[in-house]
Amino acid sequence: MCGIVGVVGNTNATDILIQGLEKLEYRGYDSAGIFVLGGAENHLVKAVGRIAELSAKTAGVEGTTGIGHTRWATHGKPTEDNAHPHRSETERFVLVHNGVIENYLEIKEEYLAGHHFKGQTDTEIAVHLIGKFAEEDGLSVLEAFKKALHIIRGSYAFALVDSQDPEVIYVAKNKSPLLIGLGQDYNMVCSDAMAMIRETNQYMEIHDQELVIVKADSVEVQDYDGNSRERASYTAELDLSDIGKGTYPYYMLKEIDEQPTVMRKLIQAYTDESGQVVVDPAIIKAVQDADRIYILAAGTSYHAGFASKKMLEELTDTPVELGISSEWGYGMPLLSKKPLFIFISQSGETADSRQVLVKANEMGIPSLTVTNVPGSTLSREANHTMLLHAGPEIAVASTKAYTAQIAALAFLAKAVGEANGNAKAQAFDLVHELSIVAQSIESTLSEKETIEAKVRELLETTRNAFYIGRGQDYYVAMEASLKLKEISYIQCEGFAAGELKHGTIALIEEGTPVLALLSDPVLANHTRGNIQEVAARGAKVLTIAEENVAKDTDDIVLTTVHPYLSPISMVVPTQLVAYFATLHRGLDVDKPRNLAKSVTVE
Ligand code: F6R
């Protein structure tokens, strides 16, 4: 989703902005722009499409300070006029913005009569408002910005410059992520540490409703009334090599391949020297104190919640309910007396989940965030955090985060179960079972050529497909179908195998691809019955089965793993199915249309 990068006091400002924007590309965007000042003249450059197109327009653009933006359209189409940065009426003030201003039309009506707007964005209204207060009403830049911040409602991360003053960038945030990066004799601002990691690993957090005055040699944090706030910096653990593609053609393939390593990293992170599972005792107690766990998440993370439900229930003896964050934000169901909310989020920034967390905090409901990003908003604002240790996930389609989420929740379930004396938890040798999972994934990954050939045969020209499974395999089918549709644009549904005949089987016709998942010894035979039903109606079937239930005729056979962990190994061939189907269609695997990696708007 939209990204911001800014730098003050560095003669390479243009390069830093372009490189920073390139690092934000993975988040998804449709246009981009930069404003550079502090050189012989000021430059505003915008382009629709990729950063390469923006970069091609920056010959001769030089300065010491600048702000840049990747835009994912919300208000108005992806055009150069709508691309950020936006300028005030006199073009003196220049602003980039992530988020959504809820009252922008009211502001336009109430304050900006007679102003001329180039595009349709809420951001342009915000910068006109700041410009009006400074130029028409005679306030200082800081006072004008503060006055505007008191009026603007909604989510935002703003970076503002005065084109007459290259010494300072003003930033403010509410509900949208923004960080300060501390350089040697210069400073940066950014919506994602990833865009600054080349320059610095020293960061400073900004909290909601704070305004920061960023100069080359100083960073001053204030609240909107001008009171100073102390803020310490911290060192980020990101490594530049983590965010490179290496020799891989696509991040997605790299991230699929990293999954065995991620399983081993999780073992390291959640065990002590004697191999005992270790989870923060405060988190164990939070689960013990709860009479019901509510998992809130979106998309792939929501599917990881489903895949972990049975394991959590059986090992912690606590019922688990799932909620789609965007639904719960506007309507909480009747909750149990002692709920615990678990937020699963790769990015830790998903606006829908955050909306629920804000409500949970208001209601005094204890919360745990399971995330890949330390210091992310959901991590900071929940009572507890468990990290995924998956390393940065850059491809828009989530792969290693999904498998890491289930594995991390397995550590939680095991730790709580052991503390409660749950017999199943005691018998569940998680470390050993996860090493088998890692080996199983490795052996699937060694079959890429076979999988690619089968995918070519099954999916090369189809417009639609189905995944079916029962029990845990149904949950994997949901995730497998999301993966396939989001990057290959093949319309795909994940179905509970037995449910198909209650209506949807009407869509099966000659040649319709049906991919069946089989891991459970009790349920596999029933799913095989459903396979017969679709095959009899002309479906082309591909079966993915664990060895313990496999037949000679199955297409892809996986090493058997512990049933609680089967979603981790079963999903891997389906990730490869999505990857190859996309590749065969000549599409960009890492950057599917219309999608963003970090969904920071509602
Ligand atoms: C799909 C995908 C999305 C995310 C969803 C939630 O591959 O990645 O469905 O899972 O947008 O994002 P997080 O996990 O960052 O909260």
Q: Give the tens place of pLDDT for each residue, 478-537.
A: 999 999 999 999 999 999 999 999 999 999 999 999 999 999 999 999 999 999 999 999
Shared-domain flag, residues 264 and 345: yes
Shared-domain flag, residues 238 and 259: no
Which is nearest to 19 in space by CA: 169, 162, 200? 200
Side chain identity, residue 269 = A
Q: Whose CA is nearest to atom 8 of ligand 1?
A: 398
Strand ranges (E), 131-175: 154-162, 165-174
Measured in Å, residue 598 CA sits from the centre of ligand 1 at 7
Q: Is 227 among the domain residues?
A: yes
Give pLDDT tens digits for 534-587.
Answer: 999 999 999 999 999 999 999 999 999 999 999 999 999 999 999 999 999 999
Determine the pLDDT at residue 601: 67
Which is nearest to 411 in space by CA: 484, 518, 504, 312? 312
**Ligand 1 atom closest to residue 298's alpha carbon, by position in its atom list:** 6
Is 187 touching ligand 1 by the criterion CB < 6 Å?
Answer: no
Question: Contact 518/552 with Cβ under 8 angstroms?
Answer: no
Is 486 touching ligand 1 by the criterion CB < 6 Å?
Answer: yes
Is 397 touching ligand 1 by the criterion CB < 6 Å?
Answer: yes
Share of the chain above pLDDT 90, in %: 84
Q: Is 378 among the domain residues?
A: yes
Shared-domain flag, residues 304 and 333: yes
| Active-site position among 2, 132, 190, 591 | 2
User: What stretches of 120-220 show up as alpha helix (H) in DSSP?
Assistant: 122-131, 141-151
Shared-domain flag, residues 354 and 261: yes
Measured in Å, residue 157 CA sits from the centre of ligand 1 at 21
Question: Where among 226, 247, 268 does a domain terminate?
Answer: 247
Write the DSSP assignment of 429-450 as a string of letters.
-HHHHHHHHHHHHHHHHTTHHH
Question: Contact 393/27 with Cβ under 8 angstroms?
Answer: no
Catalytic residue status for 2? yes
Shared-domain flag, residues 14 and 116: yes
Question: Contact 193/182 with Cβ under 8 angstroms?
Answer: no
Which is nearest to 59 in space by CA: 81, 36, 25, 29? 36
Measured in Å, residue 28 CA sits from the centre of ligand 1 at 12
**Ligand 1 atom closest to residue 297's alpha carbon, by position in its atom list:** 16
Measured in Å, residue 372 CA sits from the centre of ligand 1 at 12
Shared-domain flag, residues 287 and 230: no
| Residue from 72, 347, 398 whose mutation best tests the ligand 1 pocket (most atoms within 8 A of CB) | 398
Specify the number of domains making up the chain.
3
Q: Is 601 among the domain residues?
A: no
| Active-site position among 46, 400, 414, 597 | 597
Determine the pLDDT at residue 479: 98
Q: Whose CA is nearest to atom 7 of ligand 1?
A: 397
Determine the pLDDT at residue 99: 86
Q: Whose CA is nearest to atom 10 of ligand 1?
A: 300
Is 600 touching ligand 1 by the criterion CB < 6 Å?
Answer: no
Q: Is 434 among the domain residues?
A: no
CATH of the domain at 46: 3.60.20.10
> If pLDDT is split at 50, 70 and 90, which confidence band does 264 have?
very high
Query: Is residue 212 predicted with pLDDT exceeding 90?
Result: yes
Determine the pLDDT at residue 151: 97
Determine the pLDDT at residue 31: 92
Shared-domain flag, residues 210 and 80: yes
Give the whole-angstrom CA distance, residue 449 versus residue 468.
23
Which is nearest to 515 in space by CA: 596, 573, 562, 461? 573
Shared-domain flag, residues 463 and 484: yes
Q: Is 12 among the domain residues?
A: yes
Give the whole-angstrom CA distance, residue 355 versus residue 345.
13
> If pLDDT is split at 50, 70 and 90, which confidence band does 337 have?
very high
Is 28 touching ligand 1 by the criterion CB < 6 Å?
Answer: no
Side chain identity, residue 279 = V
Q: Is 77 among the domain residues?
A: yes
> If pLDDT is split at 50, 70 and 90, which confidence band does 194 have?
confident
Average pLDDT over residues 343-352: 94
As a whole number, the mean pLDDT across the chain is: 94
Write the DSSP assignment of 213-275 as a string of letters.
EEESS-EEEEETTS-EE----EE----GGGGS-TT-S-HHHHHHHTHHHHHHHHHHHTB-TTS
Shared-domain flag, residues 359 and 456: no
Q: Is 64 among the domain residues?
A: yes
Catalytic residue status for 551? no
Helix, strand, or coil (residue 200): coil
Side chain identity, residue 402 = Y
Question: Where among 382, 405, 428 does a domain terminate?
Answer: 428
Give pLDDT tens digits for 83-121.
Answer: 999 999 999 999 999 988 999 999 999 999 999 999 988
Query: Is residue 237 predicted with pLDDT exceeding 80?
Result: no
Range of the domain at 542: 442-589
Give pLDDT tens digits for 119-161.
Answer: 988 999 999 999 999 999 999 999 999 999 999 999 899 999 9
Strand ranges (E), 524-599: 540-546, 556-558
Shared-domain flag, residues 365 and 388: yes
Question: Contact 191/6 with Cβ under 8 angstroms?
Answer: no
CATH of the domain at 465: 3.40.50.10490
Query: Is residue 177 predicted with pLDDT exceeding 90?
Result: no
Question: Where among 211, 226, 247 does a domain terminate?
Answer: 247
Is 590 touching ligand 1 by the criterion CB < 6 Å?
Answer: no
Q: Tokens 């499409």 label which residue?
A: 49
Question: For residue 524, which phi and psi values (nearest 5 degrees)?
Answer: -60, -45
Shared-domain flag, residues 233 and 260: no
Determine the pLDDT at residue 275: 87
Query: Is residue 244 predicted with pLDDT exceeding 70?
Result: yes
> Which comes out higher in pLDDT, residue 237 or 14?
14
Q: Whose CA is nearest to atom 13 of ligand 1?
A: 345
Share of the chain above pLDDT 70, in %: 98
Query: Is residue 241 predicted with pLDDT exceeding 70?
Result: no
Shared-domain flag, residues 219 and 260: no
Is 481 touching ligand 1 by the criterion CB < 6 Å?
Answer: no
Residue 45 CB neighbour total at 10 angstroms? 23
Is 305 touching ligand 1 by the criterion CB < 6 Å?
Answer: no
Q: Is 422 among the domain residues?
A: yes
Measured in Å, residue 300 CA sits from the centre of ligand 1 at 5
**Ligand 1 atom closest to residue 599's alpha carbon, by position in its atom list:** 11
Query: Is residue 297 predicted with pLDDT exceeding 80?
Result: yes
